[in-house]
A and B are shown apart, each in its own frame.
Chain A
Amino acid sequence: MDFLKDLIGFLKARKKYWLIPMIFIFLLLGVLIVIGGGSSVAPFIYTLF
């Protein structure tokens, strides 16, 4: 809940409502990947994200 409150406040402050559908897709795909057992992809050479 804390996160949702912060995220809504953040989007309001940055006026980036167009990110909402993107975040929704990110979460949806993300949940699928996590449920699917994650990935066997090699880790980043350098953590940017």
Chain B
Amino acid sequence: MTYSDILAVKFHAMYILGVSAFYHDSAAVLLKDGKIIAAAQEERFTRKKHDARFPESAIKYCLDEAGILLGDITVLAFYDKPLLKFERLIETYYAYAPRGILSFITSVPVWLKEKMFLKREIKRGLANIGSVNKQIKLLFPEHHLSHAASTFYVSPFKEAAILTIDGVGEWATASIGYGKENTISIFKELRFPHSLGLLYSAFTYYLGFKVNSGEYKLMGLAPYGNYYSEEVKNYITKIKNEIVKIYPDGSIWLNQKYFQYATGLTMTKDSPWEKLFGFKRRNPNEELLEVHCNLGLAIQIITEEIVLQMAKEAKRLTGSENICLAGGVALNCVANGKLQESNLFKNLFITPPSGDAGGALGAALAAWHIFLSKARVVRENELDALHGSYLGPGVEEKDIRSVINKFNASATKYDDFEALANDVADFLKDGKIVAWMQGRMEFGPRALGSRSILADPRNAEMQQKLNLKIKYRESFRPFAPSVLIEDAASYFELDGASPYMLLVKPIKKNLRKQVPLAYKQLDVRQKLYYSRSYLPSVTHVDFSARVQTVHLETNPRYHKLIQAFKKKTGCSVLVNTSFNVRGEPIVCTPEDAYRCFMRTGIDYLIIGDFFFSKKDQPNWKKTDQWKEEFILD
């Protein structure tokens, strides 16, 4: 009798808990007989961005959603192998000694108190939630296997090449594998300290953004660089000659003379970088200059080249027509878009929780399909097994009413959703900004129409207004469009669906406006405020957009709202940005939503069927120090 049989005899349903924690973005995922019941990131509950603590709140939520107790969990799968990581730590310090002393002094206490005794820490965390099943099985699939499982097992493919790329797991920093039915084979690995994720993070750091969250900003900054300039060409040559060597199989070698991450507390060694690029590391508060944009563009181009080269190798090794991506680098939607345009693979799937939070999902699925050898069912003509990734806490009327009572708020309940959608579409058309909270929260870093701030993309002032008065973030950052799937091809050069906002695609040529010949030479501010298309608020300076296609079957309410907007304006696109302010995790509960609404210049808030207008609300507390509560990310 196998372990799986024993468990099956004892329990009617088998519950597997996937957990990622202790590094970045801790999360929990619950499977019932292999089906995803709930998934959430800890930060959404604790309101601390990228919270890495053991995800007690997320686990509690998953158990509540399933209506079970902790004792019903039979397998807990943690997303990486701590002892392999420990091996990397020891070997790295040994290889670099005595240079890594500062890093050593910093990491040793954490390892001795916590990370060396991960099993104990997990059991401690679980004990705070409830009593654990004594027969619970703890599993530790490898970090990149967890990433691979998080994308292949939820993809709509029976077989596919799998490419995972991130900063670092245990030793691996990237892997190429092949998935078929319920199996995954890893063919090749790139190992620490050579890492595409760490290379991109090093440039993120040098250009004055925060590592592990500023990578999006760098990706958004890159298009401000001048593609045709000598400076960009020079930077690319310098980076390739000095910093990174790219091999034909997509593997890379990083010249450690330029990096500090293996032995120090920072990413780069500033003096050789200054010498190479001719300018100092940018201070986060310093103005963004052309050199910053051009260096950002250079590293973005190199990243795309490496991703493409790795994908070519995946194609050579697997011969598959399908590819699944995961790992932090798979959130680089510009590189994803280029990979799709290359036509190397017929079909591409990128898991929405591609970062470390998604490791919880992959670990749980690996436990089900690999450890327990359970078959995998792939349904034809379905988007994927995540069905829109709406796997987090939902909105209940009692919670909305409790917020209304607590803050003495004024709200109207609509009995007819069509009427609500109609009114909201009118407000959007009139240039108002609407916060939209419906159904279950998204799992993954993107807001996909459940916890979103919405606006009219035709309004030329909307990007500036949203950045500076609503989100309080850098003015250069672009906004993404949500478009009805049936109309997507009329607005964007998009072939197929992009339900998770993970592909950047050019806007259709007929929607673009003529720009002057000198446009490419304009500086950041001039480029930003130049009207480039008939959807100016979602058209980036290089005429691209990070598209989300909206599907009736996965988010009917959001789909209906955009349809109502289309009826009034002829436009089936909305600006969609996450419902939060800078540095704040996306709102989770109606109370988070109301607070965020009152702290910002948002005009209307919709939670479920309830409608809140800013002008009808009581005055907000002047003592609310939210800018201190959420530090700049």
Contact = CB atoms under 8 A, between A and B. Distances in A.
Given A10-B83, A45-B266, A3 B116 contact: yes
B87 A16 contact: yes
A46 B167 contact: yes
Contacts of A26: 90, 93, 108
Contact of A49 (B85, B94, B212): B85
A2 B91 contact: no
Contacts of B93: 26
A6 B265 CA distance: 29
By secondary structure, the B interface counts as helix
Contact of A33 (B90, B108, B167): B108
Given A2-B120, A7-B83, A46 B90 contact: no
A43 B460 CA distance: 42
Nearest to B100: A49
A3 B107 CA distance: 18
Contact of A46 (B83, B102, B117, B267): B267
Contact of A30 (B52, B112, B201): B112
A40 B105 CA distance: 9
Interface in B81-112: 83-85, 87-94, 102-109, 111-112
Nearest to B81: A10
A33 B105 contact: yes
A3 B102 contact: no
A26 to B, nearest CB: 6
Contacts of A43: 106, 265
A14 B87 contact: yes
Contacts of A6: 83, 119
B150 to A, nearest CB: 20
A39 B266 contact: no
A3 B23 contact: no
B205 interface: yes
B205 A45 contact: yes
Given A10-B83, A38-B109, A2 B89 contact: no
Contacts of B112: 27, 30-31, 34
Interface residues of B, number: 41
A35 B368 CA distance: 43
B120 A3 contact: yes
A29 B87 CA distance: 17
Nearest to A44: B265
Interface string A3-42: 1001100100010100100110011011101100011011
Interface centre among B90, B120, B167 (most CB of A within 10 A): B90
Interface in B210-234: 211-212
A41 B89 CA distance: 18
A48 B168 contact: yes
Given A2-B119, A46-B201, A46-B212, A41 B106 contact: yes
Contacts of A7: 83
B261 interface: yes
Contacts of A45: 205, 211, 261, 265-267
A19 B87 contact: yes
Given A7-B83, A19-B90, A23-B90, A44 B113 contact: no
Contacts of A33: 105, 108-109
Contacts of A16: 87
A44 B106 contact: yes
B582 interface: no
Contacts of A39: 105-106, 109
Contacts of B111: 30, 49
A47 B117 contact: no
A41 B265 contact: yes
Contacts of A42: 106, 265
Contacts of B84: 10
A37 B84 CA distance: 28
B24 interface: yes
Contacts of A48: 167-168, 261-262
Contacts of A31: 112
A39 B85 CA distance: 22
Interface in B509-523: none
Contacts of A49: 85, 88-89, 92, 103, 107, 111
Interface centre among B91, B108, B109, B205 (most CB of A within 10 A): B108
A11 B589 CA distance: 46
Contacts of B92: 49
A24 to B, nearest CB: 10
8 contacts: A6-B119, A30-B111, A38-B109, A41-B106, A44-B106, A45-B211, A48-B261, A49-B107
Interface of A: 2-3, 6-7, 10, 14, 16, 19, 22-23, 26-27, 29-31, 33-34, 38-39, 41-49
Given A30-B108, A42-B106, A44-B265, 15 more contacts: A3-B116, A6-B119, A19-B91, A30-B111, A33-B108, A34-B109, A34-B112, A39-B109, A41-B106, A45-B205, A45-B265, A46-B167, A47-B52, A49-B89, A49-B92
The 10 closest A-B pairs by CB, nearest first: A30-B108, A46-B211, A10-B83, A49-B107, A39-B105, A49-B89, A30-B112, A41-B106, A45-B266, A38-B109
